[in-house]
Structure 1
Amino acid sequence: MRVLSARPTRARRARSALTAATLAALLVTTGCASGSGDPAAPSAPAGSSSSGGFPTQVAHRYGSTEISQAPQRIVTLGFTDQDFVLAFGVAPVAVTDWYGGYEFATWPWAQDELGAARPEVLNKGEFTGSQNFDYERIAALDPDLIIGLNTGMTQQEYDTLSRIAPTVASSADYPEYGMPWQASTRVVGQALGQPQRAEELIADVAARFTKAAGEHPEFAGKQALVAEVFEPGSSFTRSATDARTVFLTSLGFSYPADIGALAGAQDGAKISDEQMSLLDRDLLIWNIGDNPALRGQIEAKPLYPQLKAVTEGRVLFLDDPLVSGALTWGTVLSLPYALDHLVPQLADTLNN
């Protein structure tokens, strides 16, 4: 992994703290967000400025946010947003916990970039599958930029956050929680005044995928699925736009059209145990890294032993929490780790 230096020490931008009364007003006031225009008005795409620097304008699903100068105190609210900020050598003052239990909500693949920084962790150990923005706590951090890309942020939440600091939401070009890593990298690069660095980061990871695909021509055209188990009696297979699936298709694998039709615009499709034959493809990956005990439950499903992928040994149980996490996060920092550790397993399983 490429090592980026930790964020240099910078003078804190002078901002007066919000009082409790001011915060209360934020929670009930509606209107145009700070630094944004009419959300319905057309605006230049994020990353449209090629020169970098400030001021910079970042487009998103709720309009466009102007960032007047290099942010000093960044709060990331998306489940994976800290990786994208850290990739630019900048450490947030606060990050949002997803899962994994790592200190400062920073996984091993991003520890070098975090360096000696010690960001505050929001939602620590409280993952419920949805965001819970603590406005008072966020305001107390005195941010000058709030980034919420991998979120389900609503218009009302955006309006409230924008009264605390300039806020960048996810792109309207993709579903909530569905921004590709390239798009997230470009948005953060624009917000930090480093659009050219964003392109360099993207090119580096893309080159890694190209190299891995070239070394494994046997991947090309083979149908592959990533499946998980969340409740008894069914499995859940990821959609074509999910980061886990995109990882595979970027290596040359193909995604089954019939599963895509079932998933529709959702992030995946629920497959009942009676329909388990739908999972029978050239390569079936069970993503169980956060709960390896699930393997026994999967293997006990009545139709599981009958799958051709099972009888021919083309099933991979991804039970390493770190590799599973790198695949699931799907960020500019986690993907190189996933490529290094997962590609050999994919090849071994497919060529079994």
Structure 2
Amino acid sequence: MKKWLLPMLMVLILVLAACGNKEDNSKKDNEGTKEASSAETITYQSETGPIEVPAHPKRVVVLSSYAGDLLQLGVNVVGVDAWEANNPNFDDGLKNAKVVENTDIEKIIELDPDLIIGLNNIENGDKLAEIAPTVLFTYGKVDYLQQFIEIGKAVNKEKEATKWVEDFKVRASEVGKKIKEKIGEDATVTVAESFDKQLYVFGDNWARGTEILYQEMGLKMPEKVKEVALEPGYYAISQEVLGEYAGDYIILSVPEDQDSSFTNTAWFKDIKAVKDGHLYEVNANTFYFNDAKTLEYQLDFFEKKFLH
């Protein structure tokens, strides 16, 4: 080989090596960026202190009544409790989710969640926190709409949640005004639920549409219901005394797997609201909660029943 070719060959080798190093480094940088993106977190100020949670959670397990909030925000839910799994409103959003309980540690591990949300009275909270960041809420610690915003904060969607709340309050108030114009300012509404051959009447903050009717719409509660159910949230009564707690209108929810034959009895048909055609029955499975998705369903139900 001619001597003058040696320097040229060495330069070519160095250039190729540099290009190779540049490509490798670029590849490593891209991989590092992807890892950083997938590992990105935010700090959520929970009831018990700051918790590092995913900035963009992809696999959430919900062990409480908040699945509808996550579905409303477009967050993927991979595991839920049986109560939420049985809500027809959630069928599409939860069609691929597995039913789990807080005691199903192995099943939850298999779901590989990146976030777990639940109530603070569940068992195994410490074990769940070892699987994934776990945010637990106290039911009723904040009002039902602020609760949705808190869920939004936990999944980095506070703006979306706040916007929905503002819009919902306006829509509920407008429907409420129309309802009061039709039924009268002094008309009363009783919210009742049948379960295991017993009835329950509810105050103004125990889901079942109570927050919408009493808080947002300002409809009136019968005095007898107010006396027993307003403070504790609900009150159990025997079926036969429903007439004593019945307002001018009754919202009656019955679980789809429960016996509703009492609605065919003479004492039930003799209740004034029933005789006046002011009884609105609903599948309790769709009415149990006060998450955003359920609230949308409840508002639509009230608008149709009272105004159409």
Cα deviation for residue 280 of structure 1 reads 2.5
Say whether the 8 Å CA contact 2:61–2:113 is kept in structure 1: no
Report what 1:91 is aligned to: 76
Say whether the 8 Å CA contact 2:195–2:258 is kept in structure 1: no
- Work out which of the residue numbers 45, 53, 63 in structure 2 matches 1:58: 45
Report what 2:213 is aligned to: 248
Which one has a larger percent helix, Structure 1 or Structure 2? Answer: 2
Percent of aligned pairs with the same amino acid: 21
Give me the whole-angstrom Cα distance separating, in 2, the residues matched to 1:101 and 1:12.
Answer: 38
State the AA in 2 paired with 1:243. Answer: A
Change (3 A) 1:152 1:235: farther
Q: Rg bigger for which structure?
A: 2
Q: Deviations over 1:245-272 (max 9, x none)?
A: 2222122312234323323654421112
Cα deviation for residue 326 of structure 1 reads 4.1
Report what 2:263 is aligned to: 298
Q: Where do 1:1-352 residues align within 5 Å?
A: 55-60=42-47, 63-98=48-83, 101=86, 107=90, 111=92, 114=93, 119-123=96-100, 132-148=102-118, 151=119, 153-154=121-122, 156-171=123-138, 173-174=140-141, 180-216=143-179, 217-219=181-183, 220-232=185-197, 234-244=198-208, 245-249=210-214, 250-263=216-229, 266-288=232-254, 290-291=256-257, 294=260, 296-300=261-265, 303-318=267-282, 321=283, 324-347=284-307
State the AA in 1 paired with 2:98. Answer: V
Which consecutive residues of structure 2, in runs of 5 or more, have no partner in the other structure?
Answer: 1-33
Q: Runs (4+) of structure 1 moved beyond 6 Å?
A: 10-15
Change (3 A) 1:298 1:100: farther
Cα deviation for residue 157 of structure 1 reads 2.5
Which consecutive residues of structure 1, in runs of 5 or more, have no partner in the other structure?
Answer: 1-9, 16-52, 124-130
Say whether the 8 Å CA contact 1:221–1:252 is kept in structure 2: no
Q: How many residues align?
A: 271
Q: Deviations over 1:93-141 (max 9, x none)?
A: 3333326657xx8625xx4xx4xx8643123xxxxxxx54311221232
Q: TM-score, normalised by structure 2?
A: 0.73
| SS of residue matched to 2:204 | coil
Change (3 A) 1:331 1:262: same
Say whether the 8 Å CA contact 1:225–1:283 is kept in structure 2: yes
Change (3 A) 1:274 1:287: closer
Which one has a larger percent strand, Structure 1 or Structure 2? Answer: 2
Cα deviation for residue 168 of structure 1 reads 0.9
Change (3 A) 1:210 1:11: farther
Give me the whole-angstrom Cα distance separating, in 2, the residues matched to 1:264 and 1:342.
Answer: 21
Cα deviation for residue 57 of structure 1 reads 2.2
Q: TM-score, normalised by structure 1?
A: 0.65
